[in-house]
Amino acid sequence: MEFSLDYLVLREPDILSDYNPVPEFITEVLASNNTFPEYEPKEPGVYSTILEVADKANNSRYVRRIAIFDKTSEISIMSSHRLFISSASNQSNYNWQTTPENVQTTLNVQWENHFINEVHEHGHFLASVQDYTARLSDNVKRVDYKEIEPQFDDNEGNRTKKEIPNINSIVRFELSHRTPSTVIPTSGWEDIVPMKENKSIVLNGGNIRDGYSYQVWVRAHDVMGNTKIDSTVVYFDHSQPIIYSPKFKKNVDDGKFPFSSRITVTAKDEHSGISKVSFKFMVNSTGEVKNQKDFRIESQTQSHCNQLPKECYCISKGECFMIDSVLDIDNCWLKVPIDRVKDEVHILQISVYNLAMLSSMITYNLGEVNSFKGIKEYYSPSNITILKTSDTSLGISWIQAPTCYERAGILIRLFRPDNSTRDFKVHKDATTFDLTGLSPTTQYWFQLFTKYGNDTKFEMSGSPAILKFQTAEASVGFPPGGVAGLSAGFILLLVGVVVVLLFLGRTGRLQPAKARMTQGIRTIRNTIRVRSHTNGGYNNRAYSTKFDDDIYFYGQMESTGATNLKISRKDISLESELAQGRFATIYLAKYYGNHRDAQTVAAKVLKDDQKEENVMKMKAKINFYIEKVGHHKNVVDFIGYVEDDVRGSFMVLEYCESGVLKEFLISKKSDVTVDLEERLFRMVFGVCLGMDYLSSKKVQNRKRSFCYHIYI
């Protein structure tokens, strides 16, 4: 039979214009051979059997019987809905009931939606059955033709037309209760009538003692006679744990935290053990709560406890506990603001909880908070290491000092030989930096400070880290100012070349000029080729890769403001490879995570070798875009970054479909029009806007192949 969602009943399948259901089994039995046929269905279900009785005059009457066939299903337990004692303490996860000794109490047992026969429930095996509707007609109006008369329909037996009362296709519940046992009771079961999923049990006071327990079993039956049993145990305790004076050690060196103190909490409960210790740090004068921390106390094994009989004890539940709990606290939990001048006295409120979640409390005077290490103490970085030295720069690294306060920044104060100073402001999370603009063969020294707090209220570290050093000998090359001049000159040269080409093309003198320019360009190329093999060329920042990694101190930075730029790997589809770089591959990709149609982007992904240096460079580029570059319409936009890729983090960038400027100029050199001329001027103006923005951010492009870094 099928279930009708419209009428919420079982019925024989409808005959439709495009569907004519065939009966599972049809047979004919003659009166002369009155044997009873048998048929076993292939799957569980509710089956309708219709018997037609006919005489020789072709008079017929019909009888229907309904049956459930099921040899495979069983009752299951839904773990999301538990069997529990709802009258027990919810804080103890309904395992402990806090009833006083020798007092009558009630156990409220609940098992809502705990048992189910999923096959019967999903198949609606116990639903009501619709009256039979005639399926055939000979187009002649006759009474009761092919119908089942009411007296011949199924109104007797276990499965009739009526719905069978049930809960999740369970038709009967039984309950038994007594002291805990691993053996399922064979007697004393009580039917739950009327059928429901809860029961109250009244216990007399003689069954109630602290540490005692009680077990309740529930047995579920389905219509096929399958059963399922589950049980729960509840424990009793109404007494609070005992707590003794704690032992306190201030400023220990072997603690779990950079600035640690240690507390030994001594507490005991012979009935329900100790499950949790809670610390509340309070200002003595005002009662202000500065912090609160909870510690879960783990139980011990019986064998471990037997080895320490004076330090360990066991409860009737079978769990064992240590009397002393040694707990480390972080001095930073005392939370003294950086602008707080007046000293404070803190009180530690210690609360211990047993398994029934009953508690006892004691207080301990911690004394003046400034006596704790890390409080009102501001340390400078340590372990300064020189990474590289040149004639004009010094690369260094350091280790951040542990602190209880938020870092606001790092300051490097450089002292020149004439005792004049120069300050370098460094990102608060950086661990490397390059000091630039130095003079060759000169002795310097610097102080390294950490700034704590914020821009309005801050403290500088008291004892700065100090390092003396000397720069290397001078090398031949462009001075730093020459780089900026060369960049500006190149832009002007580019504009001039475009204008001259347009003029020559319109006056018909382009071909002779082109021949002379070709010879000149050949000469310039030869000169550059020779220069690139000299030391001076190598050290020139305008076209050398020696300083390419200046920004990679960002590689060790943890960016705090980039969560909105983080992209899930499942939202990026790498379509095809566009180009190969030194350590990364550029892919054409689709981005599906912006709640719009798929966006075409470029993905810069690490190569498969995944060298540590390259991983650091990729992280540096990501942090550099986030912290330094920002967004501008004339700078390739940084859309975001992916962290959860097997090859490591990669960048998602704006895709410029027309490619690089040089290739565009080459493709248009023989097709110069007025529209193209206007477009070129707009391009040059856009390049200037982009470079002006980068200059305002103190970002320089030191690549020799400048045209390859302008995209359209």
Q: Give the pLDDT of residue 543.
A: 37
Q: Give the pLDDT of residue 139.
A: 59
In the chain, % of residues over pLDDT 90? 50
Lowest mean per-residue pLDDT among 361-375, 429-443, 497-511:
497-511
Q: Give the pLDDT of residue 615.
A: 82
Q: Give the pLDDT of residue 459.
A: 86
Give the pLDDT mean for 301-310. Answer: 94
Q: Give the pLDDT of residue 559.
A: 53
DSSP character string of 350-407: EEEE-TT--EEEEEEEEEEGGGSTTTT--PPPEEEEEEEE-SS-EEEEEEPPP-SS-E
475: confidence class by pLDDT, cuts 50, 70, 90: low
- Which residues are 446's β-sheet partners? 414, 467
DSSP assigned state of 139: S
Helix/strand/coil for 25: coil
Q: Give the pLDDT of residue 234.
A: 96
595: confidence class by pLDDT, cuts 50, 70, 90: low
**Euclidean distance between CA atoms 450 and 400, whole angstroms:** 9
Q: Which amino acid is at 564?
A: N
Lowest mean per-residue pLDDT among 264-268, 296-300, 381-385, 471-475:
471-475
Q: Give the pLDDT of residue 504.
A: 58
Give the pLDDT mean for 490-518. Answer: 61
In sign, the C-alpha dihedral spanning 671, 676, 677, 683 is: negative
Asked if residues 482 and 508 have their Cβ atoms less than 8 Å apart, the reply is: no
Tokens of 2: 């099928």
Angle at 301 between CA 300 and CA 306, to 5 degrees: 100
Residue 194: asked if its preceding bond is cis (omega within 30°), the reply is yes
Give per-residue pLDDT as tens, 255-266: 999 999 999 999
- Is it the case that residue 397 has pLDDT exceeding 80? yes
Q: Please report, for the chain, the start and end positions of each structural domain, with discontinuous segments joined by +.
A: 1-69+128-162, 79-117+166-236, 242-371, 382-470, 548-654
**Euclidean distance between CA atoms 619 and 380, whole angstroms:** 26
CATH topology of domain 382-470: Immunoglobulin-like (2.60.40)
Asked if residues 494 and 684 have their Cβ atoms less than 8 Å apart, the reply is: yes
Give per-residue pLDDT as tens, 19-56: 778 889 999 898 888 788 999 999 999 999 999 999 98
Q: Give the pLDDT of residue 510.
A: 55
Give the pLDDT mean for 440-444. Answer: 94
- Is it the case that residue 492 has pLDDT exceeding 70? no
- Report the CATH number of the 79-117+166-236 domain: 2.60.40
Q: Give the pLDDT of residue 476.
A: 58
Give per-residue pLDDT as tens, 128-153: 999 988 766 555 565 556 788 899 99
| Domain 242-371, CATH among 2.60.40.4070, 3.30.590.10, 3.40.640.10, 3.30.1130.10 | 2.60.40.4070
Give the pLDDT mean for 215-239. Answer: 97
Q: Give the pLDDT of residue 560.
A: 52
**Euclidean distance between CA atoms 622 and 603, whole angstroms:** 12
Alpha helices in 395-479 (DSSP H): none
Cα 139 to the chain's mean position, in Å?
A: 68
DSSP character string of 487-537: HHHHHHHHHHHHHHHHHHHHHT-HHHHHHHHHHHHHHHHHHHHHHTTSHHH
Q: Give the pLDDT of residue 103.
A: 83
- Is it the case that residue 694 has pLDDT exceeding 90? no
Entry field: residues in the chain: 712
- Is it the case that residue 453 has pLDDT exceeding 90? no
Q: Which amino acid is at 314?
A: C
Q: Which range among 5-9, 265-269, 430-434, 646-650 has the greatest average pLDDT?
A: 265-269
Tokens of 162: 């009526």
Q: Which CATH superfamily is domain 548-654 in?
A: Phosphorylase Kinase; domain 1 (3.30.200.20)
Whether 548-654 and 242-371 are alike in CATH topology: the answer is no
Give the pLDDT mean for 464-483. Answer: 74
Average pLDDT along the chain: 85
**Euclidean distance between CA atoms 175 and 85, whole angstroms:** 13
In sign, the C-alpha dihedral spanning 591, 596, 598, 600 is: negative
**Euclidean distance between CA atoms 686 and 680, whole angstroms:** 10
Tokens of 372: 């704790």
Order of strands across the sheet that contains 96-97: 96-97, 227-236, 213-221, 172-178, 190-191
Q: Which residues contact 397 (CB under 8 A, 6 or more apart)?
A: 384, 385, 387, 431, 432
Give per-residue pLDDT as tens, 154-209: 999 999 999 999 999 999 999 999 999 999 999 999 999 999 999 999 998 777 88
**Euclidean distance between CA atoms 165 and 128, whole angstroms:** 10
Give per-residue pLDDT as tens, 523-566: 545 544 544 444 443 343 333 344 444 444 555 555 555 677 88
Burial class (CB in 10 A: 0-12, 13-18, 19+), 244: middle
Give the pLDDT mean for 656-665. Answer: 82
Ramachandran area for residue 169 (φ above 0: left; ψ -120 to 50: alpha; else beta): left
Residue 220's φ and ψ, nearest 5 degrees, are -110, 140
Residue 490 C-beta-side C-alpha neighbours within 13 Å:
18
Q: Give the pLDDT of residue 533.
A: 46
Asked if residues 113 and 197 have their Cβ atoms less than 8 Å apart, the reply is: yes
Q: Which residues contact 385 (CB under 8 A, 6 or more apart)?
A: 396, 397, 398
Give the pLDDT mean for 212-216. Answer: 95
Between residues 337 and 127, the one the model is more confident about: 127
Closest to 439 (Cα-Cα) out of 382, 391, 400, 480 = 391
Q: Give the pLDDT of residue 658.
A: 81
**Euclidean distance between CA atoms 215 and 229, whole angstroms:** 13
Q: Give the pLDDT of residue 248.
A: 97
- Is it the case that residue 341 has pLDDT exceeding 80? no
Give the pLDDT mean for 397-425. Answer: 92
**Euclidean distance between CA atoms 637 and 660, whole angstroms:** 15
